[in-house]
Structure 1
Amino acid sequence: MEAFLVSTGIVALAEIGDKTQLLAFILAAKFQRPWPIIGAILVATLANHAFAGALGSWITSLVGPETLRWVLGISFLAMAAWTLVPDKFDEEDAKLARFGVFGTTLVAFFLAEMGDKTQFATVALAAKYHFFFLVVAGTTLGMMLANVPAVILGDRIAQRLPTQLVHRIAAAIFAIMGIATLMGAGAGLGL
């Protein structure tokens, strides 16, 4: 259960102000049809995070526990630093309207999430916890917790979110996980 809760919390916090959340705002404003957008975000996130979770699970079979501990610890510290860097949104990510609302959102979200910090977090969390389904379910729920309000409430909440504070909290959680992992936390999990 820890894998699910940590994955949900970290991704929900890391997603605030992320380029995919900005994409959700733009798609909601452009199409004004929240349910197909939300459905497409869910499908794109499940596909993307399932791939990332599988990669994280596979990595654990390649390296020994001591190496994995160092790789994960350093990865979490890098994620902490990356979380503090504001995302830039590329308008090209939202210019796929020929696919309709669902298709445009699905393709744009999947592509925007490739190489994103939440995808890397999913890889690292799956490698750390060894619970593929709980991590993917948690990171997907975290994405939905951050993006569904963005789609439904749009600009009404965009200006009210203290994104800098939220990013600092997410960065602190990643840093704590990195330090704890480097210090041997999770050794009972095979790390």
Structure 2
Amino acid sequence: MDWKLFASTFAAIFLAEMGDKTQIATLTLAGSGSSRWVVFAASALALVATSAVAVLLGEVVSRYVPAIWVKRAAGLVFVVLGVIYLVGAKESGAAPTPGSGAPERDA
């Protein structure tokens, strides 16, 4: 097993999920009085399933599309989404709050 790849993948996903919508949804469900073990098992299974889909799609795409084009496409998508976000914030008259993922409204 490639432990370096394992550790870097774990760290990247762990840090990316901190404070993410998935974690907030899980926190909310666990705090709703339901069985926390059922919430843990279901949310863990959902994350495993979405990761499996991503790995399978990544494997299929890598067979037909060179890695450089995948990286370029991903970069382009992030730039386009950033521009859309900034234009939307400017049109609504709100200044984006760093790290919030949503524009802040003036009171």
TM-score where L is the length of structure 2: 0.62
* Contact residue 15 and residue 21 of structure 1 kept, 8 A: yes
Distance in 2 of aligned mates of 1:51 and 1:20 = 16
Q: 1:50 aligns with which of 47, 52, 75?
A: 52
Cα-to-partner distance string for 1:144-181 (whole Å, 9 max, x where unaligned)? xxxxxxxxxxxxxxxxxxxxxxxxxxxxxxxxxxxxxx
Q: Would you say the 8 A contact 1:18–1:87 is kept in 2?
A: no
One-letter amino acid of the counterpart of residue 19, structure 1: K
Report the aligned-residue RMSD.
Answer: 2.8
Q: Report which of the two structures shows the higher radius of gyration computed on alpha carbons.
A: 2
SS at structure 1 position matched to 2:59: helix
Instruction: Describe the SS at the equivalent of 2:26.
Output: helix
Q: Are the equivalent residues in 2 in contact too, given 1:18–1:86 (CA < 8 A)?
A: no
Where in structure 2 are there 5+ consecutive unaligned residues?
Answer: 83-97, 103-107
Instruction: Give 1:69's aligned residue.
Output: 68
Higher helix share: 1
Aligned-partner Cα distance in 2 for 1:17–1:54 = 26
What is the correspondence of 1:38-117 to structure 2 with a 5 Å cutoff?
38-64=40-66, 68-72=67-71, 75=74, 78=78, 86-87=100-101
SS of 2:32's equivalent? helix
Q: Distance in 1 between matches of 2:49 and 2:10?
A: 16
Output one character per residue of 1:125-158: Cα deviation in whole Å (capped at 9) or x when no partner.
xxxxxxxxxxxxxxxxxxxxxxxxxxxxxxxxxx
Whether the aligned pair in 2 keeps the contact of 1:19 and 1:87 (CA below 8 Å) is no
Say if 1:13 and 1:76 are closer, same or farther in 2 by CA, change over 3 A: farther
AA partner of residue 26 (structure 1): T
Letter in structure 1 aligned against 2:59:
S
Higher RCO (Cα < 8 Å, 6 or more apart):
1
Percent identical: 28
Distance 1:46 1:18, change over 3 A: same
TM-score scaled to structure 1, two decimals? 0.37
Aligned residues: 83
1:23 CA displacement: 0.4
| Structure 1: gaps spanning 5 or more residues | 89-191
Query: Which contiguous aligned blocks of 4+ residues in structure 1 show a shift greater than 6 angstroms?
Result: none
* 1:76 positional shift: 6.4
Contact kept, 8 Å, 1:27 with 1:37, in 2: the verdict is yes
Displacement of 1:32 after TM fit? 4.3
